[in-house]
Structure 1
Amino acid sequence: MVRILIVDDSAFFRRLLRELLSTEPGYDIVGEAVDGAQGLDMACRLKPDIITMDVEMPGMDGIAATRRIMEKCPVPILMLSSLTHYGAKSTFDALDAGAMDFMPKINGSSGGAMAQQLPLLKAKLRLLAGRRAALRHAPPPEAPRVHPSSAAGAEPRKCERIISSRGIVLIGASTGGPVAVQQVLQTMPADFGVPILVLQHMPPVFTQAFAERLDRVIPLTVKEAEDGEMPLPGHAYIAPGGVHTQLGWRNNKPAFVMREALAHEHFRPSVDVGFSTAASVYRSDVLAVVLTGMGNDGVLGARALKAAGGHVWTQDRESSVIFGMPMEVAKAGLSDAVKSLDDLASCLHSCLR
């Protein structure tokens, strides 16, 4: 039984979540809080397996409540935020404060729209609740920072030199990805010799806010990828939400090509699509990194990359929020190396030959 605490100032939304989840076996709503302060008190008293947390609330908002909960009585937290630019920016602040993942409130006033998201919501609740034991012994969360091995004056860890200056680095991620991606990219120098494409499962407004946030806090130039744009060294490109980012050709040079998703393609952007099309353009001159995430997006793409002679690294279980995507790639025999998040960040420094 997954014991859930709902924290939201909207009586309608609390009732909607309660009604949706109360009919599902294996889920128990143990409490409802109307603001962050009450949520903090109930989290420490009721000790739920997971909390759904609104971002924007009067008094103590979801960001402050998340930070206090992670300090006093750590519990996995799933942020539920509005599909607005402000809501997206605030969500990333909450992830920095210790929240594990987020879901947008799709048409927050529409019960039917949220009901369509119920399978994904249930999957996230169950998987994230399983991380509660690990939080009990974890130190208080901090914003992602540069690993000591990449700090000024320190020598990055030496790893394989496997791609040339004409290659590309690909990063695929889902649940837990925003914090992991920031931690990896934060160590990269501004003059990194190849472009980086990040394929993170995220809605359109969130990918834009994610790119803007990263551009402020890491040395690389970060932006959303655009149709027809040629990827440049020293840049990290965030694949926009809602469409697929492919690699193709323009004027005999590699370029991003956007296409609409087909009905059966649930992840937009898709790691499989990005990896597979990169294999046809860059061939063996690709290093793909599969980070934390639920599901198996990335397996087909990794297989295409390996067939073309490319290289694939996967994040290890211990440093993953959800060991789904990297596990599936490794289980399929497609991972050249399984590394911790810190090692992935350090080894990317020396991946160019």
Structure 2
Amino acid sequence: MSKKIKVLVVDDSAIAREMLVRGLSRKPDIEIIAQAGDAYEARDHIVLSAPDVMTLDVEMPRMDGIEFLKRLLPQYPIPVVVVSALTAEGSKKALEAMQAGAMGVVAKPRGRTPGDLERMIEELAEQIREASIADIGKQTKREEFPKSTSPLRSPPPGKSGTSGSKDNRDRMIAIGASTGGTVILNYLVSRFPQDMPGTVIVQHMPPVFTRLFAESLNRESKVEVREAADGDEIRQGLVLVAPGDFQLKVVKKGKGWAVSIAPGDKVSGHRPSVDVLFSSVAEAAGPNAAGLILTGMGRDGADGLLDMRRSGARCFAQNEESAVVFGMPREAAENGAAERLLSPEEMVPALYSDFRKPASAPQRTRR
């Protein structure tokens, strides 16, 4: 039998801790080794028990989860999954926790039915599994990535998206990410020039958090960033983030494209799914698109990126040296979808310029 994942559960609510411990204990590959009601108790368990993963409530007395992460991770680099209430304050703090180094976030159930709780436990268990194989040393702050030395011209201030290269107005970009994605996406989008082709992003994240994440990106970017709404047109200088718990597709609209957003079944284990996005881009945009798959466990996006490459799109994936979890990029490389593995500093130049060049035929990498 494979080694169980040792988990520390941290929440100031005894009821919440009992709920999490009981649910996670039913998973054969997860072992709850301790639980804590505040940051100080949690620190003692980390020192004594050395858990593989910690679940963390960010709204706690004495020391909140964000401050705890900032103090903890430099000394004890442990993968952390945030478990947060779907309130405005809870969601905001959860996003801050991810920017401080947490691997992922799971929303506490709004309802009290057994089905709501079971779905939340299933999602949390998956996040724990993904976090347990993450290379926490690569979960660095955005500014610690190598600086881009690309020859991109500096855009004028503002977010109008109306000036710049005409060539970019009939092209689009699709990006997919999971664990560790918020940090690399912060790095990339903050470096997009104002005339960047219209971009659509799927980041595996619950509802509410996707909107806050988009708002956070928008505050630090030259381009406009917002959570996508059904019917939004894809245009130069605009980045759309897929809303949590919905599937997003790109569809033709006149001479350009728009997004179609609707409820739907999970695809490749996710909603929104990178595969759904990429496959729709292959059909709608073909060689006028570029795709990039970033850090994450599993293979969501690998088949869709292959569809894009077969349609003539330029297709890239994050390299192993920088990916917190190399699962999704590896799958895209091994099935022939990704023509190049890129470091963070190479990504914006590739997406901005390289995909004007003809794409090469896909070649499967041998395992």
- Superposition TM-score tier, normalisation by shorter sequence: 0.7 to 0.9
- 1:187 matched residue in structure 2: 191
Equivalent AA in structure 1 for residue 181 of structure 2: G
> What aligned pairs does 1:239-278 form with structure 2 within 5 A after superposition?
239-262=242-265, 266-278=269-281
How far is the alpha carbon of 1:28 from its aligned partner? 2.2
- 1:232 equivalent to 2:235? Answer yes
Contact 2:146 2:345 in 1 (8 A): no
Equivalent AA in structure 2 for residue 145 of structure 1: E
How far is the alpha carbon of 1:43 from its aligned partner? 1.8
Structure 1 segments (4+ residues) deviating >6 Å: none
Separation in structure 1 between the aligned mates of residue 69 and residue 248 of structure 2, nearest angstrom:
33
Separation in structure 2 between the aligned mates of residue 262 and residue 109 of structure 1, nearest angstrom:
22
> What aligned pairs does 1:93-172 form with structure 2 within 5 A after superposition?
93-107=96-110, 112-131=115-134, 134-135=135-136, 138=137, 143-145=141-143, 147=145, 149-150=147-148, 155-156=150-151, 165-172=169-176
C-alpha spacing 1:66/1:111, structure 2 compared with 1 (3 Å) = farther
C-alpha spacing 1:238/1:318, structure 2 compared with 1 (3 Å) = same
How far is the alpha carbon of 1:156 from its aligned partner? 4.4
What is the CA deviation profile of residues 107-165 of structure 1, one whole-angstrom value per residue up to 9, with x for unaligned ones?
3755542323434333322332233xx44xx49x7642285533xxx54499xxxx854
Work out which of the residue numbers 24, 31, 34 in structure 2 matches 1:28. Answer: 31
- 1:347 equivalent to 2:350? Answer yes
Contact 1:167 1:285 in 2 (8 A): yes
TM-score, normalisation: structure 2:
0.84
Equivalent AA in structure 1 for residue 176 of structure 2: G
- 1:42 matched residue in structure 2: 45
- 1:10 equivalent to 2:10? Answer no
- 1:311 matched residue in structure 2: 314
Separation in structure 2 between the aligned mates of residue 352 and residue 146 of structure 1, nearest angstrom:
27
How far is the alpha carbon of 1:333 from its aligned partner? 1.1
- 2:217 matched residue in structure 1: 214
C-alpha spacing 1:100/1:193, structure 2 compared with 1 (3 Å) = closer
- 1:281 matched residue in structure 2: 284
C-alpha spacing 1:265/1:349, structure 2 compared with 1 (3 Å) = closer
Q: Equivalent pairs: percent with the same residue?
A: 33
Aligned residues between the structures: 340
- 2:365 matched residue in structure 1: none
How far is the alpha carbon of 1:39 from its aligned partner? 1.7
What is the CA deviation profile of residues 71-110 of structure 1, one whole-angstrom value per residue up to 9, with x for unaligned ones?
2222111111112332222112111211112211123755
C-alpha spacing 1:338/1:33, structure 2 compared with 1 (3 Å) = same
C-alpha spacing 1:254/1:52, structure 2 compared with 1 (3 Å) = same
Separation in structure 2 between the aligned mates of residue 271 and residue 88 of structure 1, nearest angstrom:
23
- 2:178 matched residue in structure 1: 174
Contact 2:179 2:297 in 1 (8 A): yes
TM-score, normalisation: structure 1:
0.87
Contact 1:2 1:126 in 2 (8 A): yes
Q: Which has the higher contact order (CA 8 A, sep 6+)?
A: 1
Separation in structure 2 between the aligned mates of residue 102 and residue 83 of structure 1, nearest angstrom:
11
How far is the alpha carbon of 1:282 from its aligned partner? 1.6
| Worse-matched range after superposition: 36-45 or 334-343 | 36-45
Contact 1:13 1:108 in 2 (8 A): no
Contact 1:221 1:236 in 2 (8 A): yes
Separation in structure 2 between the aligned mates of residue 252 and residue 164 of structure 1, nearest angstrom:
13
Separation in structure 1 between the aligned mates of residue 29 and residue 259 of structure 2, nearest angstrom:
43
C-alpha spacing 1:218/1:45, structure 2 compared with 1 (3 Å) = farther
C-alpha spacing 1:295/1:106, structure 2 compared with 1 (3 Å) = farther
